[in-house]
Chain A
Amino acid sequence: MAIAGDGGFLMNVQEMETARRLNSDIVVMVWEDGGYGLIEWKQDNTYDRHTDLSFGNPDWGKLAESFGWSFDYVDESVTLLDVIKNSLETAGPSLIVVPIDYRENAILTKRLGEITMGLEIVYRLKRFATFMPFLPIGCRTSEVFKQ
């Protein structure tokens, strides 16, 4: 099984023919966001904005049909597990397209920022404690870090 973004999948989309010809027992899941999500993520992190990174997608159902692949589009998360299991059981190549919620990217960045911030604070305290040996033990880094 493979997972690809819509951009990466379309870069070698002609290989859908190879998979059909070889009758490969594969499942390829495409995460659809209609853009270069990682570049957008990085640009947003660095510049708080991004260039135009969006693109259009084919009609995935027609694409799969034209290459002779099985196809599922899933936008109800409760049904996803069954669709994946069924596709794994299906002979020949299968395409699953899932619209993906990349608002989670910014949420993860914020979360990682908090983790980094926490480490920075502890790091400074550690430096501080190193030069302030008279501080009570409870203020030393190892104790702070356990919080």
Chain B
Amino acid sequence: MRHSWRKSTGVWQANLECASTTLGPGAANLVTGVANANMDRVPLIAITGQAGIERWHKESHQAMDVVGMFKPITKWASTILTPHNVPEVVHKAFKLATAEKSGACHIELPEDVARMPSDDLDPSQKSRPTRPVPDQDVIFDALQMIRSAKSPVILAGNGVIRLGASAELRKFAETTGIGVINTFMAKGVINQDSVYSLFTIGLQARDLVFRAIYESDLVVTIGYDMAEYAPNMWNPDREKKIIHLDFVPAEVDENYRVEVEVVGDLAHALQMLNDGVHDNPFEIDPTRQHAVRHEMMQEISAHEDDDTKGPMRPQKVLADVRAALGPSDVLLSDVGAHKMWIARHYQCYEPNTCLIPNGFASMGFALPGTISAAMTKFRPKGNGNCR
């Protein structure tokens, strides 16, 4: 659950989280937190102990296949079988955990290997991979398609937050006039007061926000993560034209038929699009998107002056929380019915100011998460080009 630290600092590329436990039950206790980090794309290294190799072949106290247990919930899991492997295994775990889409890696260290001398080993040389940049021709194709659309809409996902692309996204919305819908984990990619903010999508039932997609003839997804909100929820008839912008190619899904796939660093891709728009500006009729925004704002402000006694309406509580917290303050949500209300009714000014576990979505995140977030002294960043 420590990964809220990573989320609330917003500098995902440079750092990552580590957690360590003993063997057996200690390792088993890490499972939910590691799975949550992995599916929320949080770079995390989990280090667990293990019974000595000399007793692996027989029934033995607290000895079980921990790497096997971690494989389905990490990007990579491995045992260190000799001290000689430590530099490579550690380097590889860090490299894979931070590579897009970032996630969790697991290293296991048997007791007897841990006792072996390793004084003659130096840390592996850290590599700095360059980030891929989209092809100029693909950017041109994307711009052409956006230009010819009558009512395009942007669906921004957690990749925009993780890759620090909010500033370029905001610029793109402002210069093109295209409204931005964000998923739960992309709250704050656009300022709630911006006329281009169409608020949050992701409830299981169709909400007002869904209408903005319904009425669109082109959906531009940016850093969109299917683990949060499946395409069949917003494209059930498979009729939407889709432009996909992400660090990695699109997942295959019959309800996600991509026409142009812009693969590369998000902030850089958006910068290239912005340059293209700047050279040849275009206008989009915002009337319908404004109508959706206006209706949603009425829903959000309903009950904000509620004065009932006894059990309180969720809308009223969230209106007061928003009023009490400053624009840069961080709100963490746990998982449960309250999460749906926070997603729908609590809006943000800055990225990384509302943290909602929504990939794996395990309960129990909020209390340990807020302790970790407090340790960073609430310094939200990530609002800029992080290249």
Contact = CB atoms under 8 A, between A and B. Distances in A.
Nearest to B314: A104
Interface in A84-109: 84-85, 88, 98-102, 104-105, 108-109
The A interface is mostly helix, strand or loop, or mixed, namely helix
B320 A112 contact: no
A101 B311 contact: yes
B138 interface: no
B317 A8 contact: no
Q: Could you say which interface size class chain A belongs to?
A: 35 or more
Contacts of B329: 1
B207 interface: yes
A2 B336 contact: no
A36 B336 contact: yes
A75 B205 contact: no
Nearest to B215: A145
Interface in B285-331: 306-317, 320-321, 323-325, 329-331
A34 B363 CA distance: 15
A76 interface: yes
Contacts of B214: 119
A132 B364 CA distance: 55
B314 A24 contact: no
Contacts of B352: none
Interface stretch (B86-94, B240-248, B365-373): B365-373
Contacts of A12: 1, 364, 367-368
Interface stretch (B62-70, B117-125, B338-346): B338-346
Given A8-B334, A25-B374, A98-B312, A3 B342 contact: yes
Interface in B185-237: 203-208, 210-211, 214-215
Contact of B320 (A45, A84, A104): A84
A119 B210 contact: yes
B252 interface: no
A77 B309 contact: yes
Given A3-B321, A77-B307, A115 B210 contact: yes
Given A28-B366, A28-B370, A76-B309, A5 B205 contact: no
Given A8-B334, A26-B370, 18 more contacts: A1-B331, A3-B334, A5-B337, A11-B363, A11-B364, A12-B1, A16-B367, A22-B374, A24-B371, A26-B373, A41-B340, A45-B205, A75-B309, A77-B309, A100-B317, A101-B313, A105-B337, A116-B205
Interface of A: 1-5, 7-9, 11-13, 15-16, 18-19, 22, 24-26, 28-29, 31, 33, 36-38, 40-42, 45, 74-78, 80-81, 84-85, 88, 98-102, 104-105, 108-109, 112-113, 115-116, 119, 145
12 contacts: A1-B329, A3-B366, A4-B338, A5-B363, A28-B366, A28-B367, A31-B337, A37-B338, A99-B310, A100-B312, A102-B337, A115-B207
Interface of B: 1, 203-208, 210-211, 214-215, 306-317, 320-321, 323-325, 329-342, 344, 363-371, 373-375
